[in-house]
Amino acid sequence: MNIEIIGFLAGLFTTIAIVPQIIKAYKTKKVAHLSPVFFSILLIGVFLWALYGFLKEDYPIIITNSISFLLNGYMLFLYFKYK
């Protein structure tokens, strides 16, 4: 198997992983057991990754982490909406 395909799948999985959590929070409106600190640190982390990709002109890093930033930001928004 091509190494780049593994990297692509790795990026795809870590980027879309949060979607089931967003769907669960959106449907149940229950978020009390989630840690807002978790999603906040993750949000800062993926922002820094996107910045790193921008400075390195690495488009896969920019694109995956920008999507992660939006998804994590929306999850954090749902947390504060439903808590």
Binding residues for a second copy, per CB under 8 A?
Answer: 3, 6-7, 9-21, 23-25, 28, 30-35, 37-39, 41-42, 44-46, 48-49, 51-52, 55-56
- What DSSP line would sit under 7-50, residue for residue? HHHHHHHHHHTTHHHHHHHHHH---TTS-HHHHHHHHHHHHHHH
Q: How many angstroms separate the CA atoms of 65 and 46, rounded? A: 5
Supply the minimum distance, in Å, between the C-beta of residue 71 and a second copy.
11
For a second copy, the closer CB: 6 or 70: 6
| Closer residue to a second copy, CB minimum distance, 24 or 73 | 24
- For the CB of residue 73, give the shortest distance to a second copy in the complex, in Å: 14
